[in-house]
Amino acid sequence: MSSAPEPPRQRSVTTHDFVARKGSAQKLVVVTAYDALFGRLVDESGVDAVLVGDSLASVVAGQESTLAVTLDQMIYHARITRRGVTRALLIIDMPFLTYQVSTEQALLNCGHAMQKTGAQAVKLEGGSADIARTVHALTAIGIPVMGHLGFTPQSVHALGGFRVQGRDDGGAQRLLEEARRLEDAGAFAVVLELVPAAVAAAITHSVSIPTIGIGAGPSCDGQVLVLHDLLGLNDRFTPKFLKRYATLATDVRNAIGRFRDDVREGRYPDDEHSF
């Protein structure tokens, strides 16, 4: 008797697929992950891209900002996340001072990150002329780049803290110019973080590459959230833009509390859980 044929394996998402979804009715979905287990669970959930974000500084390491993350740490987390991600596009954040000092340093660091991790793209913050030149140099040698505008966490001190960007006409115009600059430099997509919805909509309609919003309203071509935030694991983080899809911090505390009580009162392990 012949066995049933295996279902066809779903093709991996590429940067070309990402760009092709620009303006599509089906929005792009991006979620962060920092390890193999969560990488696999996120990938199996059908998202389009997994971002190994430098947000791991606060989410995993308890730092106040992303500035303390090193390239070696990002490579470690991206490499282990890669083991769980087989279908979604895997993007690695390049940390502070790995691409801002010089184009040559950026080329070496970004190339090294991709070699060591298997990531298919890097993400850089900012839209200055210098950053655009770096993006152009990276894409020229075959390294796909996702941009990041608006609130850029690596510039948190220069921006005066965690705050919405582009509220006035000058700020909105600057963001639009930066988005076009990144587009011209060859970026395949751009994250818009903490940007007024109307400004994000204007940028989205003005560039040919997908915009991925986080706190940037509904008009972007896709949305990204930090995994621990959307799962309600990081329940001390309560920005206006965040929608929680679970309350796992409560579940974790309750589960560990039940384990604590069972151990203290001799209910665990019982015969069922003993050899």
Give the model confidence (pLDDT) of 129-168 as tens digits: 999 999 999 999 999 999 999 999 999 999 999 999 999 9
Smallest CA-to-CA distance from 155 within 186, 188, 178 is with 178
Assigned token pair, 273? 């859980």
Helices marked H in the chain — which ranges?
A: 15-20, 36-44, 56-59, 71-82, 103-117, 129-140, 169-185, 197-206, 227-230, 248-264
Smallest CA-to-CA distance from 109 within 81, 159, 69, 165 is with 69
- Whether residues 133 and 26 share a domain: the answer is yes
User: What is the chain's length?
Assistant: 275
Assigned token pair, 260? 């604590």
Give the model confidence (pLDDT) of 255-273 as tens digits: 999 999 999 999 999 999 9
- Whether residues 145 and 51 share a domain: the answer is yes
Let me know if residue 6 belongs to a domain. no
- Whether residues 19 and 65 share a domain: the answer is yes
Residue 228 CB neighbour total at 10 angstroms: 22
Let me know if residue 46 belongs to a domain. yes
Let me know if residue 186 belongs to a domain. yes
The pLDDT of residue 219 = 98
- Whether residues 169 and 266 share a domain: the answer is no
Q: What is the CATH number of the domain that holds 135?
A: 3.20.20.60
Structural domain span for residue 271:
249-275
- Whether residues 91 and 177 share a domain: the answer is yes
Let me know if residue 196 belongs to a domain. yes
* pLDDT surpasses 80 at 5: no
Q: Are 49 and 39 in contact (CB under 8 A)?
A: no
Let me know if residue 109 belongs to a domain. yes
Give the model confidence (pLDDT) of 99-111 as tens digits: 999 999 999 999 9
- Whether residues 151 and 27 share a domain: the answer is yes
Q: How far apart are CA 120 and CA 71, in angstroms?
A: 16
Let me know if residue 7 belongs to a domain. no
Q: Are 219 and 197 in contact (CB under 8 A)?
A: yes
Q: How many domains does the chain have?
A: 2
- Whether residues 96 and 63 share a domain: the answer is yes
* pLDDT surpasses 70 at 7: no
- Whether residues 253 and 240 share a domain: the answer is no
Q: How far apart are CA 120 and CA 188, in angstroms?
A: 12
Let me know if residue 33 belongs to a domain. yes
Is this model's pTM higher than 0.85 or not? yes
Annotated catalytic residue, options 6, 64, 193, 265: 193
- Whether residues 232 and 265 share a domain: the answer is no
- Whether residues 24 and 102 share a domain: the answer is yes
Smallest CA-to-CA distance from 186 within 135, 238, 227 is with 135
pLDDT confidence band for 241 (50 / 70 / 90): very high
Let me know if residue 10 belongs to a domain. no
- Whether residues 256 and 150 share a domain: the answer is no
The pLDDT of residue 6 = 47
Give the model confidence (pLDDT) of 23-59 as tens digits: 999 999 999 999 999 999 999 999 999 999 999 999 9
- Whether residues 237 and 266 share a domain: the answer is no
Residue 204 CB neighbour total at 10 angstroms: 23
Respond yes or no: is residue 193 known to be catalytic. yes
